[in-house]
Structure 1
Amino acid sequence: MQLQSIRTLTGRIRLHTGLHIGAGKDTVEIGGLDQPIVKDPLTGAPYIPGSSIKGKMRSLLEVGIVMGMSEDTRKFVLDGKPCGCGRPTCPICRLFGAHNDPSKCDPKLGPTRLLVRDAMLCKEDGERFAAGDLPMEIKNENTIHRVNGTAGNPRPLERVPAGVVFDLNIVLKVFEGDDPDNLAQWLFKGLRLIEMDALGGGSSRGSGQVVFENIILDGKPIDLSTINVL
């Protein structure tokens, strides 16, 4: 299977609400954060892992669109798993790769077409962070007592504050036999679905609302608001 072209999509991710993508903790500290965000270990700056963007696109496309088109995908999704049908006709497996043993996939499927890079702070916000002018937000979430209505058991949640901007960079590989426009449309649908949903944790409680700005594919501006996701 011959590589025909490599397309590049760039843009920006602007946070409309605070973003929490957890880093996990190996130790528990008195007075420390229960849920810190993922950060660059060298600079301490927050970033959005490419795996978070790619994984959210895939899950939203599978549940929202492809599950209704493919019985094979439906079986995987209803079992709580990413699609692993491995069929060349499956847009999910073609774009994101089959979530299965490669030996069980159709060899005509080929390699993953989509490469999503980690989204780092844009130049302006990176400089603000380096200067100490971009503090992270601590949001306390509580459990409401069902009888007396009081809040208890506060949980401190670290978030990147609203208004912060990250750089977006995605690579789309086109192989022999691919329809490049079709691959791009599925990518656009995935990004648009994230705008309509959210990124990261706590989305049902207000976190992670984002908008993609200045999206450009191979020098051509793309307006995601015109993308039909149905």
Structure 2
Amino acid sequence: MFGKLEISGCIESLTGLHIGGGSQFAAIGAVDSVVVKDIDDDLPMIPGSSLKGKLRSLLSKQFSDGELPKEHNSDADVVKRLFGHTDKSGPKTGRVYFSDIFMSKESRDRLENEDIDATEVKFENTISRLTGVANPRQIERAVKGMKYHMSLIYNIENENEIEEDFKTLKTAFQLLKYDYLGAAGSRGYGRVDIHDLDVKKLVVSDEAKISSILENCKSILKEV
């Protein structure tokens, strides 16, 4: 059996979220580090690459006794087949495709109806222990309480490994809920909740087989 499944869900920010929008020239008094935004509406977004990288690093540590392997090819097999790796024949694409994640309509409406700004500026200050000199800076964050609609594509390559792959993804989502997304997690940024996860078939080669597998996958993700 081969085909594609969609994994959808909600990523909700529990604290301010900072995923940097790249290094830019900042005039004196301007924000030093801005967040990445959707070019169409200038609202904060979560790049698919940010979510993919975070989930992979969490799983890599989980399956390597807490130590992050120095090379992607040293990851556990269950991680490599989901996120990709390289072998003697060349690069191998992972089974999960990540898309950029945009703010939900619910949160967009809330911003408009309650006249809330989508981002805030947090003032921070570091002080040199040697000189005592302060280094103030301004960090832009997407405000807490916003919801982002996540949609991932899972490519079926081995029907006997589908449920194991979904259990691995469940572990990744659970780990992320108790970690952080983006930057400055040790300073309170980036705590998120993941909920309303669902799975649906997009294209499958065997309709009879997929029904029971699909229900099992939904049950697995409901435990996140």
Partner of 1:103: 89
Aligned match for 2:63, one of 58, 66, 71: 66
Q: Alpha carbons of 1:178 and 1:141: their partners in 2 closer, same or farther (altered >3 Å)? A: farther
Q: CA deviation at 1:223?
A: 2.9
Partner of 2:207: none
Please tell me the residue identity of whatever aligns with 2:186.
S
Q: CA deviation at 1:113?
A: 0.3
Question: Are 2:222 and 1:223 aligned?
Answer: yes
Q: CA deviation at 1:162?
A: 1.0
Secondary structure of the 1:168 match is: strand
Please tell me the residue identity of whatever aligns with 2:12.
R
Partner of 2:28: 30
**How far apart, in 1, do the equivalents of 2:153 and 2:95 lie?**
8
**How far apart, in 2, do the equivalents of 1:41 and 1:18 lie?**
20
Aligned match for 2:17, one of 16, 19, 22: 19
Q: CA deviation at 1:176?
A: 3.5
Q: Deviations over 1:86-143 (max 9, x none)?
A: 9xx7111101000x466356xxxx5310012211111021234467923111111111
**How far apart, in 2, do the equivalents of 1:162 and 1:181 lie?**
33
Contact 2:17-2:182 at 8 Å conserved across structures:
yes
**How far apart, in 2, do the equivalents of 1:178 and 1:134 lie?**
48
Q: Deviations over 1:50-75 (max 9, x none)?
A: 11111100001101x22239xxxx7x
Partner of 2:53: 55
Contact 2:38-2:102 at 8 Å conserved across structures:
no
Aligned match for 2:158, one of 173, 176, 195: 176
Structure 1: runs of 5 or more not aligned: 226-230
Q: Deviations over 1:134-183 (max 9, x none)?
A: 311111111146599x8932211100111111111111111136511001
Aligned match for 1:194, one of 165, 171, 176: 176
Contact 1:45-1:129 at 8 Å conserved across structures:
no
Please tell me the residue identity of whatever aligns with 2:33.
Q
**How far apart, in 1, do the equivalents of 2:30 and 2:165 lie?**
44
More strand by share: 2
Please tell me the residue identity of whatever aligns with 2:134.
G
**How far apart, in 2, do the equivalents of 1:189 and 1:111 lie?**
21
Contact 1:47-1:118 at 8 Å conserved across structures:
yes
Give the % identical residues: 31
Q: Alpha carbons of 1:27 and 1:101: their partners in 2 closer, same or farther (altered >3 Å)? A: farther
User: Following superposition of structure 1 onto structure 2, how do residues 39-50 of structure 1 map, counting pairs within 5 Å?
Assistant: 39-50=37-48
**How far apart, in 2, do the equivalents of 1:190 and 1:216 lie?**
16
Partner of 1:120: 102
Aligned match for 2:73, one of 50, 61, 84: 84
Q: Alpha carbons of 1:155 and 1:96: their partners in 2 closer, same or farther (altered >3 Å)? A: same
Q: Alpha carbons of 1:198 and 1:132: their partners in 2 closer, same or farther (altered >3 Å)? A: same
- What TM-score, normalized to structure 1? 0.79
Q: Alpha carbons of 1:104 and 1:5: their partners in 2 closer, same or farther (altered >3 Å)? A: closer
Secondary structure of the 1:67 match is: coil
- What TM-score, normalized to structure 2? 0.81
